[in-house]
Amino acid sequence: MRAVECLSNCSAGCSIALRGSGRWTYVYGNFHEAADIDVIVDGTLRYRDAPDGIVHWRERPLHFRKNCIARIPPLEVSDD
């Protein structure tokens, strides 16, 4: 985890980005950094445990389902 200055997502409150090599990247917003810590940890662990970063919609915490700002495909191109 790493804090950053700004994700330029001011209208959606506190935001987080989840990303990793070869994985989909997600940006979620409308968090309260103190009150939502449990849901942030839950969603982050589910992302970590998904091989490609895609957590099935029904398996995401409710806040993550309703506050997805962006879903970005992996930057790496496969040779398939």
The whole-number pLDDT of residue 80 equals 60
In-domain check, residue 54: yes
* Domain housing 48: 10-72
In-domain check, residue 79: no
pLDDT tens for each residue of the chain, 80 residues long: 677 777 777 777 899 999 999 999 999 999 997 899 999 999 999 999 999 999 999 999 999 999 999 999 998 766 66
The whole-number pLDDT of residue 5 equals 76
Distance CA 14, CA 28 (A): 9
The whole-number pLDDT of residue 77 equals 62
Q: Is 27:17 a contact under the CB 8 Å cutoff?
A: yes
Whole-model pTM over 0.75: yes
Number of domains in the chain: 1
- Residue 78 one-letter amino acid: S
Distance CA 72, CA 49 (A): 18
Written as six digits, the tokens of 29 are: 């917003």
Beta carbons within 8 Å of 71's beta carbon, 6+ residues apart = 24, 25, 26
